[in-house]
């Protein structure tokens, strides 16, 4: 397929999402099933246009002065693919599968508008209702921080220190051009794709099959390192999910001590078993029953809470979620987080810690959540987070606050993550 056919397909997918209110992954999958002639390269390019259009929806449609799927798709090519109205005219000419070229009205709109002069809400590429929350988190720099969440993401890998070194894995993945991450000590990064390209399927690599690395954003790796799991500890991963942070903690503990990986949702926990086996992790018990944790009450050196959240920090990877999210969903997540934090207290021994993590950039889920917890539980105190960062990582910087650390694409080059370490004094 030429670019015109790919563009038309992207508009079709975006229209399907709008009409049926469905996730991008589902709409793209259905399009692929009904258009089996499209090759892998075509599907990747169509997906890129769709995701770019979703990441940059406000600025893309503003450029064409229209909020249609067509405007979003064309705008994505103008903003992210280096296209111009003239280059698109040349590319689409004679392509019978292409959509209609830009009209004179659309071209006039593009010519009359520069993104640098756009309103803040347009440059931020975020929903209106999110803006007060972003301002509360980032202050005067909220527009630039939000725009960072609308860029294409890299592909980050975490080397399994139990089985390999970072240099060894980098050598094995030489063709991917993976480079050492700037902050995470065992991370490798494959740069964001350009144009119609796609990231390599690293899960087919022998090094992945041998358990030498996992796919994990650098921010998530940093949070696991800051948690401070050490050999011999009793650790509870209280919202373990598929086990990404569990595996990182196990490697930090050199397979010594004990990790209890708990998740109330058995389906979320299910993938952990294959991952543990591949990584040769031997100090983890996966648990789906809260009653089975009774023996750990008052015994845990560390309770990691990778809390359910809005996922606002992952908008680069899941841009459709940005437009489906609502104030009501934020309120539900905040209530869940509060309940989980209060429930976790009973497991922490005196001198032990809670490591509270979200992949959100909203203060309501982060600093405000921690402040509320400390008010309810005066037996806990926050650690000096800047000192903790320097001790555990020794490089890079983030947004340090009295009650935690906020990471973002703009400040740390990672997804948006929040981390807080809370120590039980008595």
Give CA–CA dist 46/198, Å, rounded. 11
Active site residue 130: no
Is 306 assigned a ligand-binding role in the annotation? yes
The count of other CB atoms within 10 Å of the CB of residue 96 is 7
Outline where 256-326 has alpha helix (H).
266-269, 272-279, 319-324
**Strands 380-382 and 417-424, how do they pair?**
antiparallel
Q: Where are the alpha helices (DSSP H) in 150-258?
A: 166-172, 206-209, 218-227, 244-252
Strand partners, 237: 261, 304
- CA–CA gap between residue 291 and residue 352 (Å, rounded): 21
Looking up tokens 């005066």 gives 378
> Burial level of 193, CB count in 10 A (0-12/13-18/19+)?
middle
For residues 263 and 269, give the distance between their C-alpha atoms in angstroms, rounded to a whole number.
6
Does residue 274 have a known ligand-binding role?
Answer: no
What's the token pair of residue 247? 């595996």
Inter-CA distances, 243 with 212, 268, 272, 278, 357, Å: 16, 9, 5, 12, 14
% helix / strand / coil in the chain, to the nearest 5? 50, 15, 35
Q: Give catalytic residue positions.
A: 359
Which residue ranges are tagged as binding site for S-adenosyl-L-methionine?
263, 306
Q: Which residues are annotated as a binding site?
A: 263, 306
């Amino acid at each position: 397929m030429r670019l015109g056919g790919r563009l038309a397909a992207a508009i079709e997918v975006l229209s399907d999402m709008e009409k049926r209110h469905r996730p991008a992954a589902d709409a793209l999958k259905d399009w692929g099933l009904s258009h089996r002639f499209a090759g892998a390269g075509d599907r990747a390019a169509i997906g890129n246009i769709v995701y770019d259009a979703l990441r940059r929806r406000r600025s893309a449609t503003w450029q064409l002065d229209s909020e249609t799927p067509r405007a979003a798709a064309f705008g994505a090519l103008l903003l992210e693919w280096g296209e111009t109205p003239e280059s698109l005219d040349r590319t689409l000419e004679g392509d019978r599968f292409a959509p209609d070229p830009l009209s004179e009205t659309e071209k006039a709109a593009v010519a009359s508008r520069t993104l640098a002069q756009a309103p803040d809400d347009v440059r931020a590429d975020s929903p209106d209702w999110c803006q007060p929350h972003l301002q509360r988190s980032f202050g005067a720099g909220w527009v630039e921080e939000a725009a960072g969440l609308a860029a294409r993401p890299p592909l980050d890998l975490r080397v399994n220190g139990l089985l390999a070194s970072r240099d060894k894995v980098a050598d094995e993945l030489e063709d991917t051009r993976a480079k050492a991450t700037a902050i995470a000590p065992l991370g490798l990064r494959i740069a964001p794709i350009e144009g119609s390209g796609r990231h390599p399927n690293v899960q087919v690599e022998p090094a992945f099959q041998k358990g030498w690395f996992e796919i994990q954003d650098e921010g998530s790796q940093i949070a696991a390192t800051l948690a401070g799991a050490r050999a011999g500890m009793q650790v509870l991963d209280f919202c373990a999910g598929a086990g990404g942070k569990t595996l990182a903690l196990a490697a930090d503990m050199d397979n010594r001590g004990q990790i209890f990986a708990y998740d109330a949702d058995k389906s979320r926990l299910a993938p952990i078993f294959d991952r543990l086996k591949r990584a040769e992790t031997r100090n983890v018990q996966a648990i789906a029953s809260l009653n089975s944790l009774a023996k750990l009450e008052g015994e845990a050196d560390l309770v990691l809470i990778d809390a359910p959240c809005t996922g606002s920090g992952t908008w680069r990877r899941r841009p459709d979620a940005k437009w489906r999210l609502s104030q009501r969903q934020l309120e539900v997540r905040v209530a869940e987080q509060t309940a989980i934090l209060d429930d976790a207290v009973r497991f922490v021994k005196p001198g032990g810690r809670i490591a509270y993590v979200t992949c959100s950039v909203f203060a309501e889920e982060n600093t405000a959540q921690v402040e509320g917890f400390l008010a309810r539980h005066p037996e806990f105190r926050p650690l000096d987070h800047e000192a903790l960062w320097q001790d555990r990582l020794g490089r890079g910087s983030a947004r340090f606050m009295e009650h935690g650390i906020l990471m973002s694409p703009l400040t740390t080059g990672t997804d948006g993550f929040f981390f807080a370490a809370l120590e039980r004094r008595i």
